[in-house]
Amino acid sequence: MSETPETSIAETEPPQEEEPVKEEETEDNTPAWLKKSDRLEILKETAIETPTEPDEDFIWSAKVLANQGRQAEDVSEEEITWLKKLRQGLGKTRRSLVNQLKAVVGQGPLNQDAVEEIEALLLQADVGVDATDYIITTLQNKLKQEALPPEKAIEYLKEIIREILDAPLANYSNPGFEPEKGKLNIWMLTGVNGVGKTTTIGKLAHLSKQSGYSCMIAAADTFRAAAVEQVKVWGERSQVEVIANPGKNTDPAAVVYDGIEAAKSREIELLLVDTAGRLQNKKNLMAELSKIRRIIDKKAESAVVESLLVLDATLGQNGLRQAEVFSEAAQLSGVILTKIDGTAKGGVALAVARQLNLPIRFVGAGEGIEDLRPFSSYEFVEALLSGD
């Protein structure tokens, strides 16, 4: 008989299950990983952030505000952000002007070659012939009296440009262009399709609300199918009521009439009237514009009425020709310059002021609802001619 082989204990006993590893616990029975996480959160909350260095645009914006007498505690982040956008928006125009102008004006009295070079630079920026002639003549007279280094010459050039931009304000009793508190103000916005008129309406509504005014929009652009819906979207974004009649063949003047009635009943301070994109060669539309103005004058005799042309800066001199036609038809009291961030033709602002004697009231640089601000000749010129 053969012997039974020995069987090891390991083969006969079932394998022992490993005991689960217990979480390391602290005295209060809280798992260590949780404690570690808590410590990290505390560290995050108490950590001192390393301040980031302000960029060039931030420093420039702060200086511009300080030079206007603003104190640091009164300056908002929104203002700094806006000035940065304005400077960046005028970057294309600035880069094509500043360095070349410095090279020319820093050589003493202007000879004929220098005059022609400056003239070409200004015209390329769509400053316009009239404004260009005035700038060159004034600058030449100054340089004949005294030799100016490039930086001083540029500073004098800034003064000339500010003078051009501010000159039209002498014709108006409201140079700051703010709605009068406690009474109805009606701002009628005009302009051809594509200049950003409806967007500007929404931005103005937002700005007025932020400034403490009650506001309403009358959607009187009834000739374009999507216009009323676009206005409603902007009304929702700016939390402003929109008066509209979306039916086909609605009379724009009737919408304005309803808007005035609603504004009066609700004691609204600012009624913004959106009008159709009126092309210069459509006399019936221009006649309709005049009709709207007559309705406003009749139904709101005591209201402060302003008519603003929305002008696309990228159009340059073509935009100036639009302004000439609208100025006759709409009794314009100013211009809103849009899309300044997408062009090297920012000089068109000077052409509007010099040739049409119209003030720039607002300027837009960006697509956000907050990217429209009251026009400041000082800020505009600094953004146009400071730096690169």
Cα separation of 283 and 328, whole Å? Answer: 13
The answer to whether 366 is a known ligand-binding residue is no
The answer to whether 274 is a known ligand-binding residue is yes
What are the residues facing 272 on neighbouring strands? 187, 217
Which residue type sits at 254?
A
The answer to whether 193 is a known ligand-binding residue is yes
The answer to whether 275 is a known ligand-binding residue is yes
The answer to whether 166 is a known ligand-binding residue is no
Strand 334-338 with 215-219, pairing: unpaired
| DSSP string for 154-198 | HHHHHHHHHHHHHGGGGG-S-TT--PPTTS-EEEEEE--TTSSHH
The answer to whether 199 is a known ligand-binding residue is no
Strand 372-374 with 304-312, pairing: unpaired
The answer to whether 281 is a known ligand-binding residue is no
The answer to whether 22 is a known ligand-binding residue is no
The answer to whether 364 is a known ligand-binding residue is no
Which residue type sits at 333?
S
Which H or E element spans position 41? helix 32-46
Report the half-sphere exposure of 43 (CA within 13 A, side-chain side): 6
CB 196 within 8 A of CB 338: yes
CB 254 within 8 A of CB 245: yes
In angstroms, what CA-CA distances link 27 with 24, 31, 35, 38, 353? 10, 10, 11, 16, 78
Which H or E element spans position 123? helix 112-124
Beta strands in the chain (DSSP E): 185-190, 215-219, 241-243, 270-274, 304-312, 334-338, 360-364, 372-374
- How far is C-alpha 5 from the geometric centre of its chain's CA atoms? 96
The answer to whether 191 is a known ligand-binding residue is yes
Burial 53-76 (b: 16+ CB within 10 A, else e): eeeebeebbbebbeeeeeeeeeee
The answer to whether 192 is a known ligand-binding residue is yes
Cα separation of 233 and 270, whole Å? Answer: 19
The answer to whether 341 is a known ligand-binding residue is yes
In angstroms, what CA-CA distances link 130 with 134, 344, 348, 380? 6, 19, 12, 20
Cα separation of 209 and 144, whole Å? Answer: 51
The answer to whether 137 is a known ligand-binding residue is no
Binding-site entries for GTP: 191-198, 274-278, 338-341
Binding-site entries: 191-198, 274-278, 338-341
